[in-house]
Chain A
Amino acid sequence: MGPPDVRGMLLCHAGPHRLAFHAHEVAAIAMPEGRDAASARRAFHAPDGAARVLVSASGGAVGVDTLEIEAEPHPLLPAPPVAVAASGGSLRGFVLVQGRLWPLVGLVDFERFLRGLVEGE
């Protein structure tokens, strides 16, 4: 039996780096102005910045630079424990889309992780 498929994702970039989110975890996509969003760039040790904000149902917000909707199903490859630990447990696995790996993160957990990075500085 192969890995389970993921259907319905937002494929995003934070700077040059790839990130994917489950579409069903995103309640709204907003402009960053006036929002207290955690920039996804922090996870890659880059200065904050965002062109769009992904808002969860609980109101948490993560800023990204680009996003596109991917409706096709893709297999979810398990994340190695080393990678899960690095991302504070927010990493769900990796999806192979367009011949590239995309880290799939949980929106709420990833936002919490990003805010923790700032508090830990």
Chain B
Amino acid sequence: MAVHEPEARQSYLVFACGSSWYAVPAETAAEVVTFPELTRVPGAPAHLLGVFAHRGEVIPVVDMGLLVGGASQSSRRAVLVRLPRGTLALTASTVAGVSPVTGTLDPLGPTGVHVHLRGPAKSGPRDVAVIDPEGLFDHLSQGA
């Protein structure tokens, strides 16, 4: 399995969902929002909490805790991850800010969403899972 050093010049937005910490490339993290009451999407799995309208765009909210097979988080805050194909809102109970990440960027698992979470990596003293935003977007857009 290939081992890569994260690019030192790259900064990440580091945030927590419950007790787990995540990092997304800072250039994809558009803003941190408090989202309003959500509209449920018909057929949505549990981790897709719903959608809300933000500046003329309908944005899906993904509960990172449920997505990785853990517990739901009741946070109304989310990190907006903006990609050329659309935007995702990832729930965040705490936002630590932008910082470098050290470590490796290997998939944390062989299947499912864990393919798109990379590590082991650290942001300061914290263990973080580095999110591959494009991979996560593809994974969710395939009905996962």
Contacts and interface: CB of A to CB of B under 8 A. Distances in A.
Contact of A94 (B58, B85, B141, B143): B58
Interface in A14-34: 14, 17-19
Interface residues of A, number: 33
B106 to A, nearest CB: 25
Contact of A40 (B39, B42, B88): B42
Contacts of B7: none
Given A80-B87, A81-B141, A103 B42 contact: yes
A29 to B, nearest CB: 20
Nearest to A41: B42
B43 interface: yes
Contact of A101 (B52, B87, B137): B52
B86 A80 contact: yes
Given A80-B60, A101-B58, A85 B42 contact: no
A82 B53 contact: no
Interface string B32-48: 00000001111111001
A100 B39 contact: yes
Contacts of A85: 140-143
B88 A82 contact: yes
Contact of B48 (A82, A90, A117): A82
Contacts of B125: none
Given A44-B40, A87-B44, A90-B42, 15 more contacts: A18-B39, A43-B43, A77-B56, A79-B58, A81-B86, A82-B140, A83-B48, A83-B51, A84-B141, A86-B43, A86-B44, A86-B143, A94-B58, A101-B39, A117-B43
For the complex of A and B, the 9 pairs showing the least CB-CB separation, nearest first, are A43-B42, A85-B143, A81-B141, A101-B39, A87-B43, A86-B44, A82-B60, A82-B140, A83-B41
